[in-house]
A and B are shown apart, each in its own frame.
Chain A
Amino acid sequence: MIREFCRLRRLPGFSSILFTLTATVLLGISPADVAAQSQLTESEQIIHVLNRLAYGPRPGDFERVQAMGIPAYIEEQLSPETIPDAVADEIIADFWIVGKNFSELADYDRPPVARAERQRQNVREKAQRADRRRAGASSRYEADESNRLLAARRSVLNSQISAEVTGFDRAPGDGQLVDVRLLRAVYSERQLLEVMVDFWVNHFNILVGDLFLGTDFSQNVIRPNALGNFEDLLIATATHPAMMYYLDNWLSSAPEAVVKDRLAAGHEVYPGSSERRALAMRTRQGYFDQAKNLNENYGRELMELHTLGVNGGYTQEDVIQVAKSFTGWTVSSIEPGSPDGHFVFDPLIHAGGDKVVLGETISSGGMDEGMQILKMLAHHPSTAHHISTKLVRRFVSDDPPAELVDAASRAFNESGGDIREVLRAIFSSPEFYSRQYYLGKVKKPIELVVSALRTVGAEIEPGYGGPMAYLGQTLTQMGEPLYRHQAPDGFPDVASAWISTNTLFKRMDFAIVLSTGNIPDITVDIDAAHALFRQLEFPIPTPDQLLGVQSIAQQMSENMMLNESEDDSGSAQNNMMQESKPSSIGQEIADPNVLATVIALGSPRFQKR
């Protein structure tokens, strides 16, 4: 009966899939080429813009863009400072990290007693606020029955959440950072800003599993510059202790003998310098297979990942010269991640002499050498090309069309690295509106999760633990643990990185759990979602067609009840091999609109944007 509404075509033989893929890879023939000729309809264009500039539409967004027109929407999104954002501000106001600067965030890490007290206070306040909200919105939890089910479900989820699966603890600061990112992505009207924060967090990836450094980097370095000038952004990242720790530059110095001579000659010692040298020597001993005392890690990634790109025209000698220029760019503490570790330039360990980088002479000049190099790299044509390629990949296609990359690069060069101008060039290009790329990007996990929450008009009550931890865990299981990417290149932005049997499973699972209202403290508006799916031209079944499906759902419900009594493991661990667990989901799914939402959110169409 399901087959009826799906107008099932025969499953293409596996060999034909293979052929198509082989042809695509080998001959460069894209199946989309053929269909690419027709133009997008007006409503498709609106859907497209909301899928690309935003994390998908919330109920009401479609009408709003339709009313104001696409060009006005784009301009609005390019100027987030002009968009009121009271709802998002209200929802994240509970989080301690919001609005805190470097030293305030560092303070949180300093005295253990004060920190513990602050944490307790934080939890108390949150709980009180949550209680007040609940009191005002009791209708959500009216029936005793659903309260009971919710409570049961919550206990299962909470134990899942606390299960140690990733091998490291979820520090409160990191937890808040993830929570605030997700809440803003769901609620903020400044959607393009949120998308760009995600872009730059990955472009300038760091991994400091640490309370305040990562938070400060994301909140106070990336966010304020996400739609600004690339040079400002680059310099802000280069002068942050998180980056200096992460890419080892804090350990990079002039040769030891030189440093010793300077000390003997009465060179001023920066506090902590000599200890840091000792630590550096011990850490590096027999390990870094590089010129002694020099660490090339930052110098290399600065050019390969942050600016020029891997084929951007630099040589190994350039890497060495850049690394030498950046010696002395370090951190004031020898304990990685210490709250006392702010960025400093330490002349004692700076390698003297002129350097030659990309054919240009950089005169010996202490910290100015690094600043000069950053400015040179920020405005280099290879950088324009590299950044533009990545932006076109994010906003248009896994396989960025060369002409559009060139146009975006021109905008980058002509504007002196104004990120808004590059985006404007992309959003106004014919390629952006080409049918070839419509629904052509597979959503990465954060895009899938956030767009699903937006689609169902989710109201989240971000109390302590609860829904946010569940969402964070969901992203981890889909392969994108936010702020936990190990390598300096950030999470990938192509479909093949995100779709595997594991992650596809998790995507379907999430669709069911969310649509049936089974994430604690997340309320979904199924009617609004249903209306939105019709607006978005989703292929979902009509009530008539669902009559048959409902009987299946009824059966499911009965099966599950049966299984409930069998389960005696007492374990909350999800496990595929334990086929069924107690669940109320079978019952809830019997509602045709819920079922339609389950189907739509888990469908292949919803995996794409």
Chain B
Amino acid sequence: MIGSRKKVHLEPNTNKPMNSRRIFLRDGGIAVLGLSLVPGFVYRAAMAAKPKLGKKKTLITIFQRGGADGLNLVVPFGDKDYYSLRPSIGIRAPSKEGRSAIDLDGYFGLHPSMESLLPIYKAGDFAIIHATGSPHPTRSHFEAQDYMESAVPGDKTIHDGWLNRYLINNPDPDATTFRGVSMGPVLPRSLSGSAPALALGNMTSSELTSDTREMYKTLYDEESDALLSGTSHELFEAMDQLKELNPRGYKPANGVNYQMQGQNGEFARNMSQVAQLIKADLGLELAFVDIGGWDTHSNQESRFEQLLTRFSGTLATFYEDLGDRMEDVLILTMSEFGRTARENGNAGTDHGKATVMFLIGGSVQGGAVYGEWPGVAPDVLNENRDLAMTTDFRDVFAEVLDNFLDCENPGVVFPDLTLDPARYKGVIAS
């Protein structure tokens, strides 16, 4: 599936990513600074004389927290072992009657509650990678999430996230405050690091009204500490820009509605706001959205019915809302691990290994399930219990950075991995 490649980057990854970089100051001088010492606003002020706003590519990463059961999201109905492992929660092979998998390619099928994504799959804008996961054996949510977001599994000394390392290593002269944005109240590990990024849910509050803001603005403008005054300047500017957006009055395009039955709630609201930010051309390049509820130790199917309807319905709504702009948008989903191949005694599943990743967007070579299928026969299960991992999640991340964002040096983002485009799945048209 590897298409023709326009560039190949193979660099030894001996350098830590945060070493000194050149910063071109506005007056034309050149200074070599330790980037980690430079506050965000100075960095951006140095990089951007006047932000040029306009269309740009946007990568939306969605983290399914809790460990999503890839085996029931994308059902291997063609693998007979699947049904012996899951006598009660297994999804039936495609059938005209009753709830059953939605056939994708004669072997895999979508969970019936994900029907809304089928048209996108058929249109060729939705690709699935099965049996993806982390090489690290941990079954702890926290550890596994952390390792996926740092993209350096097993290394506790890495402080920043993979998306932040991308920002650091690909300085953009047109960057705005909105280059990297998380929709939650806390900056996720993926976006944390020395490059600035916004946590929109944190910058909330109602309490900081425009009037209170005026009072603070006056005090901070007077402040001699450049870190405090410069950062506040940027904060107030960002808040002004967001206020102008008027999210209450947002009308999605193409007649869709994010608040439809069964898909309202935080995830839908966050996705509608991502859509709004993209359309406002504020310079959004990386967006991060969380969706929880995947830790299905019991009664998995009744939970999935609701959760998957909400999840896929929102993605389909977003896809419709963005319309032609999906050409420049890529949605990438991930979860810290999959679940045990065997169902447990409570009609649920426990922490496992490999799972599925979704890619949705105009640049996706969709309508296909990618990845090597390891099978779920007892002798090929990971530790005799989980779907084995055949695609390292970092290879998917790398392909996205390399071929969607046209990152010049994706190797720097993955310090302990020797990148090899031969391992890319060819999911992104390049």
Chain-B contact segment, one of A132-140, A404-412, A569-577: A569-577
Q: Considering the complex, which residues of chain A in the window 456-499 have a beta carbon less than 8 Å from any beta carbon of chain B?
A: 476-477, 479, 486-489, 495-496, 499
Q: Considering the complex, which residues of chain A in the window 568-601 have a beta carbon less than 8 Å from any beta carbon of chain B?
A: 569, 571, 573-581, 583, 585-586, 589, 598-599
Q: Considering the complex, which residues of chain B in the window 206-223 have a beta carbon less than 8 Å from any beta carbon of chain A?
A: 206-209, 211-212, 214-216, 218-223
Q: Which residue of A lies closest to B213 (CB)?
A: A508
Q: Is B10 part of the binding interface, using a Cβ–Cβ cutoff of 8 Å?
A: no
Partner of A26, one of B31, B159, B266: B31
| Residues in chain B near residue A287, CB distance under 8 A | 135-137, 154
A283 to B136 CA separation, bound complex (whole angstroms): 8
| Residues in chain A near residue B159, CB distance under 8 A | 486-487
| Residues in chain A near residue B141, CB distance under 8 A | 167-168
Q: Which residue of A lies closest to B135 (CB)?
A: A287
A502 to B238 CA separation, bound complex (whole angstroms): 10
Instruction: Tell me whether A477 and B211 are in contact (CB under 8 A).
Output: no
| Residues in chain B near residue A513, CB distance under 8 A | 207
Instruction: Tell me whether B39 and A496 are in contact (CB under 8 A).
Output: yes
A550 to chain B, nearest CB (A): 11
Q: Is B106 part of the binding interface, using a Cβ–Cβ cutoff of 8 Å?
A: no
A505 to B345 CA separation, bound complex (whole angstroms): 47
Q: Which residue of A lies closest to B159 (CB)?
A: A487
Chain-A contact segment, one of B78-86, B195-203, B299-307, B308-316: B195-203
A509 to chain B, nearest CB (A): 5
Assuming the contacts A8-B222, A476-B186, asked whether A442 and B227 have C-beta atoms less than 8 A apart, the reply is yes
| Residues in chain B near residue A608, CB distance under 8 A | 225
Q: Is B229 part of the binding interface, using a Cβ–Cβ cutoff of 8 Å?
A: yes
B131 to chain A, nearest CB (A): 17
| Residues in chain B near residue A569, CB distance under 8 A | 269
Q: Which residue of A lies closest to B220 (CB)?
A: A604
Partner of B238, one of A25, A489, A501, A602: A501
B40 to chain A, nearest CB (A): 6
Assuming the contacts A17-B226, A25-B33, asked whether A552 and B266 have C-beta atoms less than 8 A apart, the reply is no
Interface residues on A, range: 35 or more
Instruction: Tell me whether B146 and A578 are in contact (CB under 8 A).
Output: no
A593 to chain B, nearest CB (A): 15
Q: Considering the complex, which residues of chain B in the window 227-274 have a beta carbon less than 8 Å from any beta carbon of chain A?
A: 227-235, 238-239, 242-243, 245, 247-248, 266, 269, 273
Instruction: Tell me whether B196 and A504 are in contact (CB under 8 A).
Output: no
Q: Which residue of A lies closest to B145 (CB)?
A: A167
A500 to B202 CA separation, bound complex (whole angstroms): 12
How many A-B contacts are there with CB distance less than 8 Å? Answer: 226
Instruction: Tell me whether A167 and B228 are in contact (CB under 8 A).
Output: no
Interface residues on B, range: 35 or more
Instruction: Tell me whether B177 and A502 are in contact (CB under 8 A).
Output: no
Partner of A571, one of B142, B146, B220, B269: B269
A208 to B281 CA separation, bound complex (whole angstroms): 43
Q: Is A559 part of the binding interface, using a Cβ–Cβ cutoff of 8 Å?
A: yes
| Residues in chain B near residue A8, CB distance under 8 A | 218, 221-222
Instruction: Tell me whether A9 and B65 are in contact (CB under 8 A).
Output: no
Assuming the contacts A25-B33, A487-B156, asked whether A165 and B184 have C-beta atoms less than 8 A apart, the reply is yes
Partner of B157, one of A25, A442, A487, A607: A487
| Residues in chain B near residue A602, CB distance under 8 A | 212, 216
Q: Is A315 part of the binding interface, using a Cβ–Cβ cutoff of 8 Å?
A: no
A63 to B177 CA separation, bound complex (whole angstroms): 45
Q: Is B45 part of the binding interface, using a Cβ–Cβ cutoff of 8 Å?
A: yes
Instruction: Tell me whether A167 and B65 are in contact (CB under 8 A).
Output: yes
Q: Is B347 part of the binding interface, using a Cβ–Cβ cutoff of 8 Å?
A: no
Instruction: Tell me whether A505 and B202 are in contact (CB under 8 A).
Output: yes
A501 to B229 CA separation, bound complex (whole angstroms): 11
Instruction: Tell me whether B203 and A488 are in contact (CB under 8 A).
Output: no
Q: Is B292 part of the binding interface, using a Cβ–Cβ cutoff of 8 Å?
A: yes
Assuming the contacts A499-B228, A505-B202, asked whether A556 and B209 have C-beta atoms less than 8 A apart, the reply is yes
| Residues in chain A near residue B135, CB distance under 8 A | 286-287
Assuming the contacts A8-B218, A22-B31, asked whether A502 and B187 have C-beta atoms less than 8 A apart, the reply is yes
A311 to B429 CA separation, bound complex (whole angstroms): 47
Q: Is A555 part of the binding interface, using a Cβ–Cβ cutoff of 8 Å?
A: yes
Instruction: Tell me whether A577 and B25 are in contact (CB under 8 A).
Output: no
| Residues in chain A near residue B14, CB distance under 8 A | none
| Residues in chain A near residue B209, CB distance under 8 A | 556, 559-560, 580, 586
Instruction: Tell me whether A501 and B146 are in contact (CB under 8 A).
Output: no
Q: Is B88 part of the binding interface, using a Cβ–Cβ cutoff of 8 Å?
A: no
Q: Is A164 part of the binding interface, using a Cβ–Cβ cutoff of 8 Å?
A: yes
| Residues in chain B near residue A578, CB distance under 8 A | 204, 206, 247-248
Instruction: Tell me whether A574 and B219 are in contact (CB under 8 A).
Output: no
| Residues in chain A near residue B222, CB distance under 8 A | 6-9, 604
Partner of A577, one of B27, B200, B207, B214: B200
Q: Which residue of A lies closest to B272 (CB)?
A: A577
Instruction: Tell me whether B242 and A577 are in contact (CB under 8 A).
Output: yes
Q: Is B46 part of the binding interface, using a Cβ–Cβ cutoff of 8 Å?
A: yes
Q: Is B9 part of the binding interface, using a Cβ–Cβ cutoff of 8 Å?
A: no
A111 to B3 CA separation, bound complex (whole angstroms): 57
Chain A positions 496 through 539: 1 when the CB is less than 8 Å from some CB of chain B, otherwise 0: 10011110111011001100000000000000000000000000
Instruction: Tell me whether A501 and B208 are in contact (CB under 8 A).
Output: no
Instruction: Tell me whether B229 and A566 are in contact (CB under 8 A).
Output: no
Instruction: Tell me whether B156 and A486 are in contact (CB under 8 A).
Output: yes
Chain A positions 531 through 571: 1 when the CB is less than 8 Å from some CB of chain B, otherwise 0: 00000000000000000010011011001100000100101
Instruction: Tell me whether B235 and A501 are in contact (CB under 8 A).
Output: yes
Chain B positions 63 through 107: 1 when the CB is less than 8 Å from some CB of chain A, otherwise 0: 001000000000000000000000000000000000000000000
A440 to B42 CA separation, bound complex (whole angstroms): 20
Q: Is A175 part of the binding interface, using a Cβ–Cβ cutoff of 8 Å?
A: no
Instruction: Tell me whether B232 and A504 are in contact (CB under 8 A).
Output: yes
| Residues in chain A near residue B189, CB distance under 8 A | 486
Q: Considering the complex, which residues of chain A in the window 142-175 have a beta carbon less than 8 Å from any beta carbon of chain B?
A: 163-168
Q: Which residue of A lies closest to B276 (CB)?
A: A577
| Residues in chain B near residue A586, CB distance under 8 A | 209
A569 to B264 CA separation, bound complex (whole angstroms): 10
A487 to B245 CA separation, bound complex (whole angstroms): 38
B217 to chain A, nearest CB (A): 9
| Residues in chain A near residue B216, CB distance under 8 A | 508, 599, 602-603
| Residues in chain A near residue B119, CB distance under 8 A | none
| Residues in chain A near residue B142, CB distance under 8 A | 167-168, 209
| Residues in chain A near residue B196, CB distance under 8 A | 500-501
Instruction: Tell me whether B198 and A502 are in contact (CB under 8 A).
Output: yes
Given pairs A18-B45, A26-B31, 14 additional interface contacts (CB within 8 A): A8-B222, A26-B33, A164-B65, A165-B184, A287-B135, A287-B137, A442-B227, A487-B158, A501-B203, A504-B228, A508-B208, A604-B225, A604-B232, A608-B225
16 cross-chain CB contacts under 8 A: A8-B222, A14-B45, A167-B145, A168-B142, A207-B156, A287-B135, A499-B228, A501-B177, A512-B208, A556-B209, A569-B269, A575-B273, A576-B203, A577-B200, A578-B204, A599-B216
**Chain B contact residues, CB within 8 Å of chain A:** 25-27, 31, 33, 36-40, 42, 45-46, 65, 135-137, 140-142, 145-146, 154, 156-159, 177, 184-187, 189, 196, 198-209, 211-212, 214-216, 218-235, 238-239, 242-243, 245, 247-248, 266, 269, 273, 276, 290, 292, 383
**Chain A contact residues, CB within 8 Å of chain B:** 2-3, 6-9, 11-12, 14-15, 17-18, 20-22, 25-26, 31, 163-168, 207, 209, 282-283, 286-288, 297, 442, 476-477, 479, 486-489, 495-496, 499-502, 504-506, 508-509, 512-513, 549, 552-553, 555-556, 559-560, 566, 569, 571, 573-581, 583, 585-586, 589, 598-599, 602-604, 607-608
Closest 3 A/B residue pairs (Cβ): A574-B204, A604-B223, A577-B247
